[in-house]
Amino acid sequence: TAAGADGRPTFYLTTAISYPNGAPHIGHAYEHIATDVLARFKRLDGFDVRFLTGTDEHGQKMQQTAEKEGITPQELADRNSAAFQEVDDVLGISYDRFIRTTDEDHLAASQALWQRMEENGDIYLDSYSGWYSVRDEAFYGEDETELRDDGLRYSKETGTELTWTEEASYFFRLSAYQDKLLALYDREGFLFPETRRNEIAEFVRSGLRDLSISRTTFDWGIPVPGSPEHVMYVWVDALTNYLTGLGYPDVDGEMFRKYWPADVHVIGKDIARFHSVYWPAFLMSAGLELPKMVFAHGFLYNQGEKMSKSVGNVIDPHALVAEYGLDQVRFFLLREVSFGQDGSYSHDAIVSRINADLANDLGNLAQRSLSMVAKNCEGQVPAMGELSEADRAILDAAHDVLGPVRQAFDDLQFHRALEAIWKVVADCNRYFTAQEPWVLRKTDPERMRTVLWTTLEVVRVVALLVQPVMPASAARLLDVLGQPEDRREFSAIPQRIVPGTELPKPAPVFPRYEEPEALKN
Ligand code: ME8
């Protein structure tokens, strides 16, 4: 990783940019939350982070949706891009820039990238005839399509309807990059998880056709330099957003030098091909460094069912947050689903995580220890006496967990990181119960104080570590532990909780979820 001016290592991460042709749903929320958690983790771990997200506003899908609604594509984009930004705010997404592909600087960046690829001899004019899915904004080869009983042709992979398209088009010499791409997957992995990489490598090995990269039958897009009757294929412009976000084409600019290449593009599995085949090929053509990692997460389903407007089971992130609380939703999504696999959302699953993991395990541990301290230690962090073997074991477990947690974050295995932290919580609950500080209160007050100090110290470490996932709840927990703002980064983990620290009145941080009366019967 490159180091910034102040010596801190840099970390540049991005989400996919969403199509604002409809309202944001829980699938978008999932991706943005996961990426946000990684951004927050890296900041707390001493990195100079840049986090980009936004909306992908061009293309035929946007144009068609706007026509149906009787508004201009720009009006549609304005309205829905605002809705996406609002959801990001509700979800606490700590992005540094929300890019819109209709932003002025993005036009310049896309045209500059096009020109670099053209100068490299990778762009030529021809005509395209073939199948196009407006829903997927993707071209499909004949072998990737199927004719159904209704007489229409569909994508085998995504099931979306296809239209026959014939038009003058510029092409990108994708076929020239086959070997380089295969070498990339072999050498660096590049695309994760591995199952996705194997699929993509298989696709590339089976032979790459040159890619149609401009359209002439509609005009909602970025004009091709020198040929304004062509607009760029929306994916060319969309992928370029990752460069625009750093000031491209100013490659000598501070931001670009500092943060490019990206450390990770977080995307969903349905757009792995665009990010791991087209994108690295474009970058190689333009002579730019490649991102270090593309991570394709799985899809989120509603109780195992695909969410769709027609089924009426699309989940609105606002409703979810209003019902369960933001940190609860963030925790649930990352703890419940193995990142990279598909996952399912259900009311029962989220309630069970809230009540078991949060209220019972972490909430009770904090509440039990803090209320004993409030009653028996004058509301101050007690002084510890000599540490027993049991004390040392649980303290070591807490302090040593940062290593595996950091590794899990570097692998984007958020569920593993949380699993490791909750193992410490479970061990500490067992420790607390076994030590019986409520008995020691009468028999050996010094020993009681040592047990309470030890428990507070473990809770402090856990609170520090869960900040990226549950920023507000962790902050409240650190407040009731009397931790100053400047001791909340991971570098503070080895600095033990200071005896004598004044503690505010303890207040429960993780309430149980109670079923509303109406739902009980
Ligand atoms: O694909 N579960 O935009 P998009 C999990 N504009 N993730 C989901 C999901 C679900 N049910 N549904 C969608 C696009 N996603 C392009 C991206 S990037 C240069 C251009 C994910 O609005 C999806 O996989 O259709 C993608 O990563 C993101 O949401 C935006 O999807």
pLDDT tens-digit map of 52-94: 999 999 999 999 999 999 999 999 999 999 999 999 999 999 9
Ligand 1 centroid to 317 CA: how many Å? 15
- Looking at residue 262, the DSSP 8-state letter turns out to be P
Q: What whole-number distance in Å separates Cα of residue 279 and Cα of residue 438?
A: 61
What's the CA-to-centroid distance between 257 and ligand 1, angstroms? 28
Ligand 1 atom with minimal separation from the 241 CA: 19
Instruction: Return the pLDDT at 50.
Output: 98
Asked whether the beta carbons of 56 and 17 are under 8 A apart, the reply is yes
Instruction: Give the E-state strand segments of 312-468 in sequence order.
Output: 343-345
For the chain, how many residues are written? 521
Write down the pLDDT at residue 97. 98
Question: What's the gap between Cα 496 and its chain centre?
Answer: 31
Looking at residue 342, its pLDDT comes to 96
Contact partners, residue 231, CB within 8 Å, separation at least 6: 58, 214, 215, 216, 218, 219, 220, 221, 222, 223, 224
pTM of the model: 0.96
337 lines ligand 1 (CB under 6 A): no
- Whole-angstrom Cα distance, residue 466 to residue 443? 35
Q: At what angle do helices 402-410 and 389-400 cross, to 10 degrees?
A: 20
**To test ligand 1's pocket by mutation, which of 52, 56, 239 has the most ligand atoms within 8 angstroms of CB?**
56
**Distance between Cα 102 and ligand 1 center (Å):** 19
Distance in Å, CA 28 to ligand 1 centroid: 6
CA of 29 to the centre of ligand 1 (A): 10
> What pLDDT is recorded for position 303?
78
pLDDT computed for residue 5 by the predictor: 67
Closest residue by Cα to residue 297 from 334, 242, 262: 334
With CA atoms as reference, report the closest residue to 456 among 489, 481, 437, 485.
481
CA of 339 to the centre of ligand 1 (A): 15
245 CB within 6 A, ligand 1: no
Does the C-beta of 273 come closer than 6 Å to ligand 1? no
Q: Is the CB of 31 under 6 A from ligand 1?
A: yes
Positions of the chain with pLDDT lower than 70, given as ranges: 1-5, 309-310, 517-521
Strand ordering across the sheet containing 227-232: 214-215, 227-232, 223-224
The protein residue with its alpha carbon nearest to ligand 1, atom 8, reads 27
